[in-house]
Each structure stands twice: as C-alpha cells, then as structure tokens.
Amino acid sequence: MEDLDLPEGSSQDLYEHYSFTADKGQAPLRVDKFLMNRIENATRNKIQQAAKNGNIFVNGTPVKQNYKVKADDEVKVLFEHPPHEYLLTPEDIPLDVIYEDDALLVVNKPAGMVVHPGHGNYTGTLINALIHHFENLPNNSSGRPGLVHRIDKDTTGLLVVAKTEEAMSHLSNQFAEKTSEREYLALVWGDVKADEGTIEGHIGRHPKNRLQMAVFREGDHGKEAITHYKVIERLGYVTLVSCRLETGRTHQIRAHMKHMGHTLFNDERYGGEKILKGTTFSKYKQFVENCFKVLPRTALHAKTLGFEHPKTGKWVSFDSEVPADMQECVERWRNYAKHAKD
C-alpha cells in the first residue's frame, strides 16, 4: 500500500478500487463528474459519499467532491474492503459448455451474463460459475481465473477458457499475435453499401464519454484495431453483417461500426436504441419498438471461434447457433423488408 495522506483516525488498510490519470488536455472538472464519466454503473450519490468518507484521493491526498481535476492528476478511489474481484465466490450457475478436454473448455455465454466481476456486477458472472464447476483454474495477467478473452454483458456466444497454465499462456499468445479467429454476427442500422470491407482505426476511450470507445487516426490515440466485415443480408433500414476480428479491443465492433455510420441495433451505450434509420410513420415506429422488445439488448453474437489447440497443436474451430431473440428480430426485419418491396 502506497503512502497516502489519510484523514486522522483512518485505517491504513485501504484497497485501490479505481485509478485514473487525467489526460494532458483535461480542463478543470469536478472530481465527482470526472469519476461519473469513468466508472460504469456509478451514481453521483455513491461518488459523493466516497468523497465525504475520505476515500477519493488525488495525487495521494483525500479531496472533497468539488475538487477540480487538472491535467495529469492521479485520481484514485480506495475503500477499506478489497475489490470484489479479489473476493471471488463460487456460484452454482449452469454453463453451456460446448467442448471440454483436460486443457480447455469452450463456453457459449448467454445474454446478460457479465464475464468477470466489476463495479455493480459482483455476483452472477461467468467467473463465479467457472470457479464453482472447475478447480485450480490458472489466473490470467489480470488475476482472473481461466479467462483468455472476454465479450460484453449483452453479447452472446463463444469464449475459450484455459484450464492449465500452459493452455493459458499458449492461448493468450495466439490472441495477442492475432492468430486466433473470431467471427461475430451483428445487426446494424442502415444499408451497408459495400458487400465487404475492412475498418482500420485506433480505438481508445472517448474523450468526453469515458464509458464509450472511439475511433482515432493512427498515432493520435488508442490502440490499433482492425475489423473485416461482410454483408450477409440487407433488410431495408438495417443490415446483417459478419465481422471478423483481427485485433481484440474493448467494444471493437461496436465502435468501428458506429464510426462507419452503422451503429449496432439496440446498442444503448452507442445510441442504437434510438430509431436511427427509416420513416416517420407511426406504424414503422411501433414496428421498431416491438423489435427492441423482442431483442432487448445489443444485436451482437460471437458465432465462431478458432485457434490452435495448446496441447495437440491442431487447429480447432467451433460454431454456435444464433440465439432465439436475435433470430426472431432478424426474421421480423426480413418480413418487413419483403413487404416494403411488394
């Protein structure tokens, strides 16, 4: 634990839950607003209470909620209890395991399941389920048992989980070196004109909304990100596309497709829960709202996954069914597009 200027009577047993460095271009901004833009699922009340309790530190000193964060400030949120990811509790949650051997398993993740514990999601995660069903899973570089890669809460589909240290190292290297194969199916707003193409643009945190990722020119900000897309079916005001990842950045498909002008259907964080394309007719509006009810999440599914098996050296590939909610939504758009042409 680093030396901190703690209030009189405070315990030295504080654990870091969040840490942020303000950008060089950061204009003065109240620390509560600064943290609201960076901590998912946080509320203003919780952040203000943390400041009141002396748990928000800037450059090692506790600050009040109205402290103005400046460029290069180190902002940390600390509490007397360890972060929940370090207090992992096994939970008897069913897993859809489509393949398993002594080195790894491949899981088909349902919508709504968070992959690992974090702020606001401390239980019911994939990791809680994994450590119940499997003993002695190896930790990845972030201390998360079994996890080689992750997909978002509302995204469905395939994940590979390592069961041994050797498998963890081998698989992690494949993902880092871009030799694994991952194909997603996405329903996006608008008519994607080109039958196929490649989106290249660095991905990093959005400068104003830190819960979003944004696309930047090479060298400006963020990390290299490459997505290859192919149109599967045009359905009028939406398009079904296949996206093959060459890199694996946070929200890569969501950010790249929005940057291209085709936000994912019902992707609330990126504005896809609004009617972005179509007509002003009330019947159309009702149709889209019904589609949102059928698919109450981002229209994204991790359909196929391929990699070199860490033990046998052979290439293995897995495929998963598109979940029923996404299938029904696509079918509704298919029928709508058909009748619109008639």
Residues 15-82: name the CATH superfamily.
RNA-binding S4 domain (3.10.290.10)
Our answer to whether residue 73 is catalytic in this structure is no
CATH number for the domain formed by residue range(s) 181-341: 3.30.2350.10
pLDDT of residue 80: 63
Give Rg (Cα) of the chain. 22
The sign of the dihedral angle between the CA atoms of 211, 217, 222, 225 is positive
pLDDT of residue 141: 83
pLDDT of residue 8: 41
Helix (H, G, I), strand (E, B) or coil at 271: coil
Decide whether 15-82 matches 88-176 in CATH topology: no
pLDDT of residue 44: 82
Q: Cβ-count burial of 219 within 10 angstroms (0-12 exposed, 13-18 middle, 19+ buried)?
A: exposed
The single residue of 152, 154, 191, 195 carrying the catalytic annotation is 152
Q: Which of 117-137 are b and which e, b meaning 16 or more Cβ less than 10 Å from the residue's Cβ?
A: bbbebbeebbbbbbbeebeeb
Helix (H, G, I), strand (E, B) or coil at 249: coil
pLDDT of residue 82: 61
pLDDT of residue 241: 98
pLDDT of residue 146: 96
pLDDT of residue 168: 97
CA–CA separation, 309 and 143 (whole Å): 23
pTM assigned to the model: 0.79
Tokens in use for 197? 């193409």
Tokens in use for 273? 């829960």
The 10 Å Cβ neighbour count of residue 309 is 15
Helix (H, G, I), strand (E, B) or coil at 210: coil
What residues in the chain have per-residue pLDDT under 50? 1-12
The total number of residues written for the chain in this structure: 342
CATH number for the domain formed by residue range(s) 88-176: 3.30.2350.10
CA–CA separation, 266 and 273 (whole Å): 4
Tell me which amino acid residue 315 is. Answer: W
pLDDT of residue 71: 92
Domain spans, the chain: 15-82, 88-176, 181-341
Task: Report phi then psi at 278, rounded to 5.
Answer: 125, -155
CB 230 within 8 A of CB 196: yes
Q: Which of 311-342 are b and which e, b meaning 16 or more Cβ less than 10 Å from the residue's Cβ?
A: eeeeeeebebeebebbeebbebbeebeeeeee
**Nearest CA-CA partner of 187 in 54, 20, 303, 59:** 303
Tell me which amino acid residue 15 is. Answer: Y
CA–CA separation, 64 and 10 (whole Å): 16
pLDDT of residue 7: 44
